[in-house]
Amino acid sequence: MTDTTDTGVTRAEYCAVACAEVFRGDGEVMASAFGTAPALGARLARLTFATDLVLTDGDAALVDGAPPLGAAPSSLVLESHMPYRRVFDVVWSGRRNLIMMASQIDRTGNQNISAIGPWARPKAQLIGVRGAPGNTVNHSTSYWVPNHSTRSFVEQVDVVSGVGYARAEAAGPSASRFHEIRYVVSNLGVFDFATPDRSMRLASVHPGVSVAEVVESTGFALTVPDDVPDTRDPTPEELDLLRTVLDPSGLRDREVRG
């Protein structure tokens, strides 16, 4: 295993590469990515191993290539008009792969962005369920949690916005038919649901993070394999793309430190 300090690869760069893996094997689908590491991950994938991926301009268009973070709108090559009304056609057709944030995530992959506390009178009203219910039962969804703690990785989320495995199964075949929670990427590691009961499993730790730290920072019983690999290193090409092309000002290191 490579030591972080030897290669100089930052934690944020491991996170970006882990987010890129969300899109491996995807063909011509719309990649939607919320957060800095996911935005970099989708771009890395588009430029390297998932070249048919279609990125958006974050407004109402699909763009050619993979523009740097914060690229001027005038520098983008637009491919297609994608207003919100058409986004729903894409979502419901399944031709989309999404990585979005989670204020809370639980053992079976339920996600919450609606409210903390009881929904009827929340302790903290968040943004609202947004498109999470529809996204999760229509196309592959992954989550990005830049602040892994027992407050974000909880036994049970307060309001199920994005639907996890147990809830999708309980809701019946119409809910589970196109349902897939592919990965959860946090600032500490990568998680999947490759367990018999489709509960969350530690898939890899980012170099420099111990398994014990992940377990302590998680508010539920995580499945931990005997042998937990490190999150893979960025290739030299990926590192160069991250540092000199996609994010030369280092926005990634402001989202995740270390």
Partner 1 sequence: MADKRLTLEDFVTELESGMTIGFGGWGSRRKPMAAVRAILRSDLTDLTVVSYGGPDVGLLCAAGKVAKVVYGFVTLDSIPTDPHFKAARQSGAIGAMEIDEGMFYLGLLAASQRVPFLPTRAGLGSDVLTVNPSLRTVRSPYEDGEELVAMPALRLDAAVVHVNRADAAGSGQILGPDPFFDELFLGAADRRFVTTEQVVATDELATGGPLQSMCISRLLTDGVVETPGGAHFTACVPDYGRDEGFQREYVAAAGDPDAWAAFRGRFLDVDEAGYQSATRRAADERAAAKAAKEGT
| Residues at the site binding partner 1, with contacts judged by CB under 8 A | 59-61, 81, 83-85, 88, 91-92, 114-115, 119-134, 136-138, 159-163, 167-168, 170-175, 178-179
Minimum CB–partner distance for residue 133 and partner 1 (Å) = 4
Listed in sequence order, the DSSP H helices in 141-221 are 165-170, 173-176, 211-216
Here the tokens at position 211 are 């398994």
CA 53 to chain centroid, in Å, comes to: 16
Q: Which is nearer to partner 1, 135 or 231 (CB)?
A: 135
Minimum CB–partner distance for residue 123 and partner 1 (Å) = 7
Helix 36-47 with 11-21: angle, nearest 10 deg? 60
Here the tokens at position 83 are 């207003």
Q: Which is nearer to partner 1, 91 or 214 (CB)?
A: 91
Minimum CB–partner distance for residue 188 and partner 1 (Å) = 23
Minimum CB–partner distance for residue 29 and partner 1 (Å) = 18
Whether residue 128 contacts residue 111, with contact meaning beta carbons closer than 8 Å, is answered with: no
Minimum CB–partner distance for residue 130 and partner 1 (Å) = 5
Q: Which is nearer to partner 1, 59 or 240 (CB)?
A: 59
Q: Which is nearer to partner 1, 34 or 49 (CB)?
A: 34
Listed in sequence order, the DSSP H helices in 94-205 are 132-136, 165-170, 173-176
Q: Which is nearer to partner 1, 75 or 84 (CB)?
A: 84
How far apart, in whole angstroms, are the C-alpha atoms of residue 178 and residue 16?
26
Cβ atoms < 10 Å from Cβ of 177: 11
Minimum CB–partner distance for residue 198 and partner 1 (Å) = 13
Here the tokens at position 58 are 């974050």
Whether residue 15 contacts residue 187, with contact meaning beta carbons closer than 8 Å, is answered with: yes
Nearest to 99 by CA among 5, 34, 167: 34
Q: Which is nearer to partner 1, 75 or 85 (CB)?
A: 85
How far apart, in whole angstroms, are the C-alpha atoms of residue 76 and residue 221?
45
